[in-house]
């Protein structure tokens, strides 16, 4: 009876993990072995599939990796700064319009991207930002702003206001108070905002697909999608592409596991 | 900027819903509720709406229930259980596209899953993605697989926050396992239930890339298309912008209404504590 729990847990987890096992082993097998024994361990591991993706003649993997990194870094940095500032302003300001403003923002958490995508493309088109990375970054910043504000606003409520007032009395400007006093105190909230948004923006598919369009390059997720057709007969290569596209978030997850869970629970238990 | 790229588009979408705009038409006219009337009379729209509700219902219920069961199973602080938590969490951080690509290779007629079933002696395996009635549930199942880890981790955090004294007191009072769960655990993790339900509701409702990769809305016409999929197909990839906008407006109304009702219901349970 004592063994029931660990054995049950391990068996359950193993069944659950099965698809990922198939990807990792499949990626290391030559095509013939994937067909012959899909379940077995790779008897003669090969890096051919990974090499085929990394060494593609059109450089699809590397160019989409570069695009994904740029879009994610710019989006996350902008989002963290803007949503921290906005949340701080909305929570601390005594003006009567800030509470409704906060509620309108939070309602934005629920809007499915499909509802607004068409007009977003028209706004970006008017601004000359369609088919540019800037357009993708901008739409990410707008779309995910409510989440950032939501996390920061919850956190700012727990930080004492006295320190800020003391700094203001000492003659620090508003911006200085925010940058030197408030922002450093928000570090735990910043960490969870950056982790979440980093993963979401990296995994985003619809926005980069539509806004970047076919001519101006792809992100890794769009790259995976585009290569589905080409590799339809060669799952080893498709697995390798999927794996490489997910590798950055997976490494990120392994490195920051504690913060991941802490960030998730900080947002959810509240 | 939020205004320009989120609020304006929402209003714009709703407004477009009252026009007959198409991408290449020279002029656009207001048609009042015409688009909505046409949707109401269109079987395909009702089918897409039904699909969305089926997927959302499965996705709200299954990971919530299974996730809670797994969280109860894994609620121990040893290295093994911590490792298993990460196993369950991994699909959460994978992109929908990658998850769909993986499952597509597993669920093909000659895919890995059917090979395993054949080895187990199942001769007529289901046609996971090719059978119109099966495919919708395959997609919902994959979404459940992806979201399960999220629920597990949120429930574990909720369980972790339950004061140990309550359990000790219950044991002293002679409460059995079920009694302890229903009288102590369940009410104490109300906040986790709220978070999970709302998250699942939203992710079920906006499902798009799984459908695109796995079935492209088929087999047949729209047998697995969701409302988000249909809106994108019509309005962004196709050119029936007015019709898509009307549909998006319906979608917006449903999600606002539904999350409002669910939040109200679940939070009332929290307050009563």
For residue B13, the model assigns a pLDDT of 60
Q: What is the mean pLDDT of residues A231-254?
A: 82
When CB atoms are compared, the residue of A118, A139, A242 closest to B101 is: A242
| Tens-place pLDDT, residues A68-100 | 888 888 989 998 988 888 888 888 877 777 777
Whether residue B98 and residue A120 make contact (CB cut-off 8 A), yes or no, is: no
What tokens appear for A119 in the block? 């007009």
ipTM: 0.82
Whether the Cβ atoms of residue A9 and residue B81 lie closer than 8 Å to each other: yes
First to last CA, chain A: 37
Return d(Cα B187, Cα B158) in angstroms, integer.
Answer: 11
pLDDT band, residue A270 (cuts 50/70/90): very low
Return d(Cα B69, Cα B72) in angstroms, integer.
Answer: 5
Whether residue A221 and residue B98 make contact (CB cut-off 8 A), yes or no, is: yes
In the predicted model, residues of chain B with pLDDT beneath 70 are 1-37, 39-41, 238, 269-273
Residues of A in contact with B76 (CB under 8 A): 5
Q: Give the closest residue to A6 by CA, choosing from B221, B78, B97, B235.
A: B78
Residues of A in contact with B252 (CB under 8 A): 111-112, 115
**Which one has a higher pLDDT value, B7 or A48?**
A48
Among A83, A114, A202, A208, most B C-beta atoms within 10 A, so best to mutate, is: A114
For residue A151, the model assigns a pLDDT of 84
Q: What is the mean pLDDT of residues A197-222?
A: 81
Whether residue B245 and residue A118 make contact (CB cut-off 8 A), yes or no, is: yes
Whether residue A245 and residue B80 make contact (CB cut-off 8 A), yes or no, is: no
**Which one has a higher pLDDT value, A264 or B260?**
B260
Which pTM does this prediction carry?
0.84
Whether residue B93 and residue A119 make contact (CB cut-off 8 A), yes or no, is: no
Return d(Cα A42, Cα B273) in angstroms, integer.
Answer: 54
Chain B, nearest residue to A38 by Cα: B112
For residue A269, the model assigns a pLDDT of 43
**Which one has a higher pLDDT value, A246 or B269?**
A246
Q: What three-state secondary structure class fits A171?
A: coil
User: How far does A171 lie from chain B, in Å, by closest CA?
Assistant: 31
User: How far does A184 lie from chain B, in Å, by closest CA?
Assistant: 25
Whether residue A22 and residue B213 make contact (CB cut-off 8 A), yes or no, is: no
Among B93, B106, B128, B158, most A C-beta atoms within 10 A, so best to mutate, is: B93
Residues of B in contact with A11 (CB under 8 A): none
For residue A45, the model assigns a pLDDT of 74
Whether the Cβ atoms of residue B67 and residue B151 lie closer than 8 Å to each other: yes
**Which one has a higher pLDDT value, A56 or B72?**
B72
Return d(Cα B82, Cα A203) in angstroms, integer.
Answer: 25
Chain A, nearest residue to B236 by Cα: A118
């Amino acid at each position: 009876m004592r063994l029931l729990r660990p054995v049950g847990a391990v068996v359950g987890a193993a069944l659950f993990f099965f698809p990922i096992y198939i990807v990792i082993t499949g990626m290391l097998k030559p095509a013939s072995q994937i067909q012959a024994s899909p379940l077995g361990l790779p008897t003669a591991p090969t890096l051919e599939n990974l090499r085929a993706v990394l060494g593609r003649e059109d450089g699809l993997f590397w160019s989409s990796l570069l695009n994904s990194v740029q879009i994610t870094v710019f989006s996350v940095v902008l989002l963290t700064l803007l949503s921290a500032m906005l949340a701080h302003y909305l929570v601390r300001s005594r003006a009567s319009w800030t509470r409704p403003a906060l509620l309108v923002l939070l309602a934005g958490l629920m809007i499915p991207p499909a509802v607004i995508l068409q007009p977003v493309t028209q706004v970006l088109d008017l601004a000359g930002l369609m088919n540019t990375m800037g357009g993708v970054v901008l739409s990410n910043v707008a779309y995910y702003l409510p989440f950032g504000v939501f996390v920061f606003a919850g956190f700012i409520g727990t930080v004492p206001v006295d320190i800020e007032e003391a700094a203001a009395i000492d003659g620090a400007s508003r911006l200085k108070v925010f940058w030197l006093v408030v922002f450093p105190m928000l570090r735990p909230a910043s960490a969870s905002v950056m982790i979440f948004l980093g993963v979401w923006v990296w995994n985003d598919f619809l926005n980069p697909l539509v806004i970047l369009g076919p001519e101006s390059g792809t992100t890794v997720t769009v790259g995976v999608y585009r290569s589905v057709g080409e590799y339809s007969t060669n799952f080893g290569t498709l697995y390798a592409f999927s794996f490489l596209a997910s590798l950055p978030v997976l490494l990120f997850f392994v490195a920051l596991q504690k913060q991941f869970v802490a960030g998730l629970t900080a947002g959810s238990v509240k | 900027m939020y205004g320009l790229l989120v609020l304006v588009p929402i209003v714009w979408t709703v407004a477009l819903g009252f026009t007959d705009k198409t991408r290449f038409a020279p002029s656009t006219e207001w048609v009042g509720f015409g688009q909505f009337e046409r949707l109401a009379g269109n079987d395909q729209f009702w089918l897409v709406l039904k699909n969305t509700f089926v997927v959302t219902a499965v996705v709200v219920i299954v990971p919530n229930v299974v996730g809670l069961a797994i969280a109860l199973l894994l609620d121990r602080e040893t290295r093994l259980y911590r490792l298993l938590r990460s196993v369950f969490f991994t699909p959460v951080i994978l992109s929908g596209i990658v998850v769909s690509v993986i499952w597509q290779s597993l669920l093909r007629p000659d895919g890995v899953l059917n090979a395993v079933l054949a080895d187990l002696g199942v001769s007529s395996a289901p046609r996971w993605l090719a059978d119109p009635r099966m495919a919708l549930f395959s997609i919902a199942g994959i979404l459940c697989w992806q979201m399960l880890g999220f629920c597990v981790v949120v429930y574990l955090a909720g369980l972790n926050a339950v004061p140990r004294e309550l359990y000790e007191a219950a044991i002293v009072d002679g409460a059995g396992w079920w009694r302890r769960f229903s009288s102590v655990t369940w009410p104490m993790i109300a906040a986790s239930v709220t978070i999970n339900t709302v998250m699942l509701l939203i992710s079920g409702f906006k499902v798009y890339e799984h459908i695109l990769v796995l079935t492209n809305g088929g087999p047949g016409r729209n047998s697995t298309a969701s409302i988000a999929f249909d809106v994108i197909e019509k309005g962004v990839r196709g050119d029936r912008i007015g019709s898509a906008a009307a549909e998006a407006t319906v979608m917006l109304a449903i999600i606002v209404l539904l999350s409002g009702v669910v939040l109200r219901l679940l939070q009332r349970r929290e307050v009563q504590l």
